[in-house]
Amino acid sequence: MNRFKILHKDKSSRVGILKTAHGEIETPNFIPVGTQASVKAVSPRDLKELGAQVVLANTYHLMLRPGANLIEEMGGLHKFMGWNGPVMTDSGGFQVFSLGLALEHGVGKFLQNEFTKSKPRLNKVTEEGVIFQSHIDGSKYTLDAEKSIDLQVKLGADLIVAFDDLESPLHSFDETLKSLELTERWEQRSLKAFKKYAKAGQLLYGVTHGGVFEDLRIRSAKFVDKHFDAIALGGAHEDRKTLYKVVEWTVGSISEEKPRHLLGIGEVEDLFNCVERGIDLFDCAAPTRRARNGSLYVSPGSGDYSSLKGYQAKNYTINIKTSKFSKDKNPIDKNCKCLCCTNFTRAYLHHLYSTGEILYHELASIHNLFFVIDLMKKIRESIGNNRFDTLKNSWISF
């Protein structure tokens, strides 16, 4: 059964529907990240009210606590977390990177997102899988392709991701090739395990890799396209320019009719540029992480673009910690219809942040998530009306 249907295209951008056992997902769309089976500071009811259609949970973290067996006993993630919509889980593959090479090389999702210094890695990668040292208590855990799929099935996810080895952006061609070959073997094992363990309605994504090397990216795209019904684009990147090239290389080498998910990406600029290149789904912790740190999204029509003081142009955010907002009677974004913007001022948000009030985290997170999810709705509408370029230019070319 083909669960994904493209409804309309505007050049390479497209509007579609992805059907799951727990409801339909309109694409392109943004998936809020609930690492521990909870989107930080936001309840399932709030998620529904702000327009979220699907959430993502983290297999590695849930393996550590409370454990997939317990969640399965509780009826799976949907009942456990009180969310009746679609759920996606990642494979734990990003933790292979973040607790390994990312620490060792001092890099993040993008090369320029460097840590202050390299640190000892907390895992060991072998042909069979990965031995983790828990970041919680130092205990040892093993995660491999078969266990990753078994865990995700037990969690009850609708959308499942094959186990992969994420290469470092500092890797040479030979090192990247070695990592890619390992990923391909792990993905084949993931597919075999999925066929054995999967429940009705679950969909498995293969993950493309290959670093910054076009021929490896194309090889990976063709491999995943051959074996999987859904395609996720993985990897850490040198910069945004490289990311967009990776998307182009991949999209040009895969089937038109399969859903495409860009893992771990979700800033405003990236949403526009990658939807333009044919991406359907995104997930990222940035909206809630930014909210907790005082970084709140604003649109080009908010009036903040005349002065860069307190405004971070490239990220479409204001820094609510800035003293200039202590007497600001405006909402965070005058164009936003979220609970926060329709009821509270920047001055109040500044006060809540400055005094460490818990309410700040709830209101700020609701705003940032609503902002991104509503933007994706506007993007879908613009594609349907063949006006995507007009909408993008009104944001990117401010």
- 151: phi then psi, degrees, rounded to nearest 5: -60, -45
Nearest CA to 202 out of 86, 74, 284, 35 is that of 86
pTM (2 decimals)?
A: 0.94
Walk me through the domains of the chain, giving residue ranges and CATH numbers. 4-285 (3.20.20.105), 290-396 (no CATH)
> How many other β-carbons are positioned within 10 Å of the β-carbon of residue 367?
26
Q: How far apart are CA 354 and CA 342, in angstroms?
A: 21
Nearest CA to 320 out of 332, 329, 330 is that of 332
Three state DSSP letters for 67-80: CHHHHHHCCHHHHH
268-275 helix and 358-384 helix, angle to the nearest 10 degrees: 20
Per-residue pLDDT of the chain (398 residues; tens, 9 = 90+): 689 999 999 999 999 999 999 999 999 999 999 999 999 999 999 999 999 999 999 999 999 999 999 999 999 999 999 999 999 999 987 776 555 454 566 666 576 554 446 777 667 889 999 888 887 888 888 899 999 999 999 999 999 999 999 888 888 999 999 999 999 999 999 999 999 999 999 999 999 999 999 999 999 999 999 999 999 999 988 899 999 999 999 999 999 999 999 999 999 999 999 999 999 999 999 999 999 999 999 999 776 655 444 555 568 999 999 999 999 999 999 999 999 999 999 999 999 999 999 999 999 999 999 999 999 999 999 999 999 999 999 998 74
304 is catalytic: no
Choosing from 90, 158, 164, 374, which is the catalytic residue? 90
Are 341 and 367 in contact by the 8 Å Cβ rule? The answer is yes
90 is catalytic: yes
Choosing from 46, 164, 283, 333, which is the catalytic residue? 283
